Amino acid sequence: MNPPNPAVARATVTVSAGAGYNFAYLDEGTKRMIRRAILKAIAIPGYQVPFAAREMPMPYGWGTGGVQVTAAILGAADVLKVIDQGADDTTNAVSIRRFFTATAGIATTTRTAEATVIQTRHRIPEAPLAEGQVLVYQVPIPEPLRFLEPRETETRQLHALAEYGLMHVKLYEDIARHGHIATTYAYPVEVAGRYVMDPSPTPKFDNPKMDDCPALQLFGAGREKRIYAIPPYTRVRSLDFEDHPFRVQRFDRPCALCGAEDVYLDEVVLDDAGGRMFVCSDTDHCETRLAEPRLAETRLGETRLADGHTGEAA
């Protein structure tokens, strides 16, 4: 074996992979393997499909699952948006977007409406998604029962037998202890009336957006080696009790920059005297509203109708 070319190695200090890598980094065989897993996941909504995750140039825990899913589905004509915490400019989103620019050369955008593929960590965009769009979620721990039952052999059985009593015991315990269900993010959902799924650490505020969504939702966990999916227009129901129904967080003030209401806000610390302000977590949403307020208001009006998707009132 020849010693590696130092010039190529040096170039990999930054994200650029240079010549010699396939489109979107993964070889075609790996992409086929991942796409087969994705198809199986779409056929069984909410079911975690094991896949042979590859070692990627970014660390486990930093989005390798999402990156592999995106790499497997990207085509030359796709337009990619990457967000982390709802923002395009956070360091990890920047890093991943650059990775795909370097390895696939595809167009990228910060505008939700213009993207064909959106890779996200911890947020669903405020703007309702459309048919033909794909939302790829980065997932750290795919197993919703993991913290109740650490053994994979056991949780596999529980899913196969649809034995989800344990999940409800946890919710019961929360109400008994705190008076409320204490899960505020990664809030478990039931998909298509069968599998219980972890939506990734999105705040429960975003759960309603997954229900009956026109876009395809794909979930990639690289370190844990699982892929799962919610096909478009699938029923997604957050677990709750009849007398303690699922509730989203509401902020009682609008975004301090653009005035948006009914959106998720980031708390910004201004000084050490308790000064705070709240701004849109979704930076594209905020910028769009600031640039074209009339257009954004129409969209917001549609958003107000139902759980965050366009269309007839629910």
Partner 1 sequence: MEPLLSVAGLTKRYGGRLACDGIGFTLDPGEVLAVVGESGSGKSTLLSLIAGEVAADAGSVAYRMRDGATRDLDTLSLVERRALMRTDWGFVRQDATQGLRMAVSAGGNVGERLMGVGDRHYGRIRATALDWLARVEIAADRIDDPPTRFSGGMRQRLQIARNLVTAPRLVLMDEPTSGLDVSVQARLLDMIRGLVAELGLAVIIVTHDLAVARLLSHRVLVMRAGRVIETGLTDQVLDDPQAAYTQLLVSSVLAA
Partner 2 sequence: MYVAVKGGEAAIDNAHRLLAEVRRGDPAVPELTVAQIREQMRLLVDRVMTEGSLYDPDLAALALKQARGDVVEAVFLVRAYRTTLPRFGATEPVDTGAMTLARRISATFKDLPGGQVLGPTFDYTHRLVDFGLADAGSPDPAAEAEPEADAAACPRVTDLLGQAGLLEPSPPDEGAPVGDLTREPVDYPADRAVRLQGLARGDEGFLLALGYSTQRGYGRTHPFVGEIRVGAVELAFTPEELGFPVSLGTVALTECQMINQFHGHGAVPPQFTRGYGLVFGQGERKAMAMALVDRSLRAAELGEPVAVPAQDQEFVLAHCDSLQATGFVEHMKLPHYVDFQAELELVRRLRAEHAARAAAPAPASDESPLREAAE
Contacting residues toward partner 1, per CB under 8 A: 161, 163, 165-166, 168-169, 172-173, 175-177, 240-244
The active-site residue out of 86, 258, 275, 301 is 258
Token representation of residue 3:
């010693």
244 is a contact residue toward partner 2 (CB under 8 A)? no
Whether 213 is catalytic is no
The most distant pair of C-alpha atoms in the chain lies apart, rounded to whole Å, by 68
Q: Where does residue 98 rank: exposed (0-12), middle (13-18), buried (19+ CB within 10 A)?
A: middle
14 is a contact residue toward partner 2 (CB under 8 A)? yes
Residue number, 77 or 275, with CB nearest to partner 2: 275
Contact pick of 28, 114, 131, 152 for partner 2 (by CB under 8 A):
152
Q: Where does residue 89 rank: exposed (0-12), middle (13-18), buried (19+ CB within 10 A)?
A: exposed
Nearest to 41 by CA among 216, 207, 237: 216
The active-site residue out of 46, 63, 65, 222 is 46
Q: How far is the CB of 53 from partner 2 (least distance, A)?
A: 7
Q: How far is the CB of 199 from partner 1 (least distance, A)?
A: 20
The active-site residue out of 193, 255, 259, 274 is 255
19 is a contact residue toward partner 2 (CB under 8 A)? no
Q: How far is the CB of 180 from partner 2 (least distance, A)?
A: 7
Q: What angle (nearest 5°) sits at the alpha carbon of residue 52, between those of residues 46 and 55?
A: 120
Nearest to 137 by CA among 217, 205, 80, 62: 217
Mark residues 189-218: x for contact with partner 2 by CB under 8 A, - for none: ------------xxxxx--x----------
- End-to-end Cα separation, the chain, in angstroms: 64
Partner in contact with 94, chosen from partner 2, partner 1, none, beta carbon below 5 to 8 Å by kind: partner 2
The active-site residue out of 65, 66, 213, 280 is 280
9 is a contact residue toward partner 2 (CB under 8 A)? yes
265 is a contact residue toward partner 2 (CB under 8 A)? yes
Contact pick of 245, 271, 272, 312 for partner 2 (by CB under 8 A):
245
DSSP bridge pairs for 127: none
Residue number, 61 or 165, with CB nearest to partner 2: 61
Partner in contact with 272, chosen from partner 2, partner 1, none, beta carbon below 5 to 8 Å by kind: none
Whether 286 is catalytic is yes
Contact pick of 71, 74, 189, 286 for partner 2 (by CB under 8 A):
286
Sequence-separated contacts (24+) of 173-178 with Cβ below 8 Å: 175/241, 175/244
The active-site residue out of 63, 286, 308, 311 is 286
Partner in contact with 169, chosen from partner 2, partner 1, none, beta carbon below 5 to 8 Å by kind: partner 1
* Residues 288-307 contacting partner 2, CB under 8 A: 307
Phi then psi for residue 127, to 5 deg, are: -65, 130
Q: What is the distance between the alpha carbons of residues 233 and 18, in angstroms, rounded to a whole number?
A: 40
Nearest to 227 by CA among 125, 138, 97: 138
Mark residues 96-115: x for contact with partner 2 by CB under 8 A, - for none: --x-----------------
Whether 258 is catalytic is yes
Per DSSP, the residues of 16-74 read ---TTSBTTBS-HHHHHHHHHHHHHHHHSTT--EE--PPP-SS-TTSSHHHHHHHHHH-
Catalytic residues: 46, 255, 258, 280, 286
